[in-house]
Amino acid sequence: MGKVRIECVSLVTTDSKATNLKNYVKYIEDAAANGVNILVLPEYSSTGLPDDISMNYVSKAEKKHFEENAELIPQGETVQLMMEQAKKYDMYIAWTMIERDQFYEDRIYNTAVLVGPEGLVGTYRKVHRAGTEKMMFLAGDKGSEVFDTAYGKVGFIICFDKNSPDTVRALKLKGAEIIINPTAWPGLDRRLGDLDISMQLHRYAGRNRAMENGVVYVDCNLGCRPEDTLNAEAGHARVMTPLGEILAETKGWGEDKIVVDIDPQEAIAAYYKAMDFTPEEHLAMLREQQDKHEKYMALGDVILTNIRFYGSAVLNTVFDFPTMLKYRKRIK
């Protein structure tokens, strides 16, 4: 398949979908002029994020924003526009959007989409929702499929998914060579710079997933405005080799883009040479890890279910105890 040119854009968005889509087209046209084969845009970059968004509570305005901007896939305007652009410029384009369920209008998802010259290639609904996302979006019921493209096999994860090693491991076991990770990862406080722990966790987790699985990793994070400080989107979008080498990274927290040329198959071969094990040995290791993960997660679910059940029963009994005593004292 040979080399592929990948562009990753750390966008700064508005809360206007129309404005964001115009910005999409500007970057698509620029990427096409630069011979880009795969263009990756961040999580929430089509709808943008409302100014009052928080990881601690959901405002009425925030809920309304996402519900009003949800679209059917592929019938909605965003997918139709992106398919038109992908065909026009012979390019693959990846981004996320708010998807409305085909059968239940009140159900919405945070969904990654990949389109190409051939049309809609595939979608993936985010599984591991962070914070208040659990109050707004349904979780996907399965991990991403691996999609065949002219430049290699592509798998999706979205933002917080990368904190769960099993997500990328499952994609590698399905044959993925390139992982696309659209992200809207916030820092704690932009003024901390490189000392910001949340921003560094974003960088650390993606690099780990690349190295564990021997995949080309595109970690495309939203940027923020100069005046944003607390909980600002942390930028630092990057493309990494299977060995965790950072081929390019956007500058800081603001809007920027990077373009890299890489041969995924050649990079994966270099990974196995450096690691001194065969692809078959590596996949066997990953299967063993995945089996252990599934077993321990099943056990964890049982433990958590019992903690919730008996914990709530005990707490309710404790809080109810003074009232119970009052009633007992009244009995003659």
pLDDT digit string, tens, across residues 183-208:
999 999 999 999 999 999 999 999 99
Range 75-97 average pLDDT: 98
Q: Given pLDDT bands bounded at 50, 70 and 90, which one contains residue 143?
A: confident
Q: How many helices (H) and strands (E) does the chain have?
A: 8, 12
8 φ, ψ (degrees, to nearest 5): -125, 125
User: What spatial distance separates the first Cα and last Cα of the chain, rounded to whole Å?
Assistant: 88
Query: How deeply is 144 buried, as exposed, middle or buried, from its count of CB atoms within 10 A (0-12, 13-18, 19+)?
Result: buried
Q: Is the pLDDT of residue 322 over 90?
A: no
Question: Rounded to two decimals, what is the model's pTM?
Answer: 0.90
The single-letter code of the amino acid at 278 is T
Most confident of the following: 139-143, 235-239, 292-296: 235-239
The rounded distance, in Å, linking the Cα atoms of 69 and 137 is 13
Residue 56: the pLDDT is 74
- How do beta strands 108-116 and 92-100 pair? antiparallel
Residue 330: the pLDDT is 67
Say if residues 230 and 189 touch (Cβ distance below 8 Å): yes
Residue 51: the pLDDT is 77
Residue 116: the pLDDT is 98
Residue 298: the pLDDT is 74
Topology of 4-276 in CATH?
Answer: Nitrilase/N-carbamoyl-D-aminoacid amidohydrolase (3.60.110)
Range 231-240 average pLDDT: 94
